[in-house]
Amino acid sequence: MKKLNLRTPKKYDYVDKAGTVLPRIRFYCISEGQTEETYFYGVRNNKAELGIKNDVRIEVVKKQEGQETLSHPLQLVKAALVCMGRVDEMGKEIPESRWNEYCKWEDFDPGIDRVCVIFDRDYRDLKKSIDEIFCLCDKHGIKIVLSNPNFELWLLMHFPNMDQYSREELLANQRNLGGKLFTGASAKKKYLEILVSENAKGYIKGRKLEFEKFLPSVGLAIMQAKAYCEDSRKLVDELGTSVGKLMEEIRL
C-alpha cells in the first residue's frame, strides 16, 4: 500500500463583527474523495446558517498534490497519525514526549481537537484492514465517521421520506444492470447514486458537490439518520451513517 501524505490545512479567515474569534475546538476532517471534502467545505463556509458557533473550526485536510486517488481508509488513518506527530514518515512510533514536536498541524491540541476520518463501508478490501483501523483510531483518539454502504446514503437523507426506500435495497446498493432498477439510468450507476441524482439534479458521484442543494436540509438529514444505525462499529455490518453524529458534535 502506497504511503499517503496530507497537506497542512489552509488558513481560513474566521471573523465576526467583533473581530477574530479564538477557537474553542477544531475538527480536522480527512476523507476519501472530493464529494466528502466539498461537503465539509460547505459546512465550514455556512456555519451561521447551520447554527455552528464561530469558535468552532472546521479544517478540511486534503491529500498532497498527485495523491488525490489514494484513499484507502487505512492510508487515511496512517497519514493522520503522521500529521498528529504520533508516527514518523516511515511509520515508526514517536514517544509521547515528542508528539508536539513532530505534529504538522499548527496549534493542534490533542486534548480538545477532534481528528475525524470519514470513509465508506463499501471500499474495496476494507474488511482486511478494518480491525487495524479501529485499533489505531482507538489508541490515538481518532473519530471514525463511517457510512454503510457509502456517503451517498447521508446525502439522500437530506431529502424527505427516507422510509419510502427499501432498507435491503439501500444496503445492497446494486448497479443498474440492464436498467432493472431505473429505466433510462446508466447501467454503471448504483442505486444510491441514482436516488441522490434524482433529488439533487446534477449530482455526479466523485465530483465536487453543489452544497447549496443540501444546505437547507442538514437538520432533516441529522433527524432521518437517527432511524438507522449511527454506531461506527456496528456500521461495519448495518445500514446507516455516523455523519449525523459528527454534525451534531460540530453544532454543540
CA distance linking residue 11 with residue 14, whole number of Å: 9
Buried b (16+ CB within 10 A) or exposed e, 16-50: eeeeeeebebbbbbbbbbbbbbbbbbbbbeebeeb
Cβ contact 230:154 at 8 Å? no
Q: Exposed, middle or buried by CB within 10 Å (0-12, 13-18, 19+), for 250?
A: buried
pTM of the model: 0.91
Kindly report the length of the chain: 252
Identify which of 201, 213, 165, 209 has the alpha carbon closest to the alpha carbon of residue 39: 209
Q: How confident is the model at residue 244, as a pLDDT?
A: 98
Model confidence pLDDT, tens digit, residues 127-165 = 899 999 999 999 999 999 999 999 999 999 999 999 999
- The domain limits of the chain are 15-151+208-250
What are the mean pLDDT values of the chain's consecutive 10-residue runs (252 residues total)?
A: 80 61 91 91 96 94 75 90 93 93 92 95 88 96 97 97 95 79 74 93 84 96 98 96 97 88
CA distance linking residue 56 with residue 85, whole number of Å: 23
CA distance linking residue 228 with residue 242, whole number of Å: 9
Model confidence pLDDT, tens digit, residues 201-236 = 888 887 889 999 999 999 999 999 999 999 999 999
Q: How confident is the model at residue 18, as a pLDDT?
A: 47
Q: How confident is the model at residue 130, as a pLDDT?
A: 94
Distant-in-sequence, close-in-space partners of 222: CB < 8 Å, separation ≥ 6: 244, 247, 248
Q: How confident is the model at residue 32, as a pLDDT?
A: 84
Kindly list the distances between the CA atom of residue 109 and the CA atoms of 28, 73, 237, in Å, as whole numbers in the listed order: 11, 23, 33
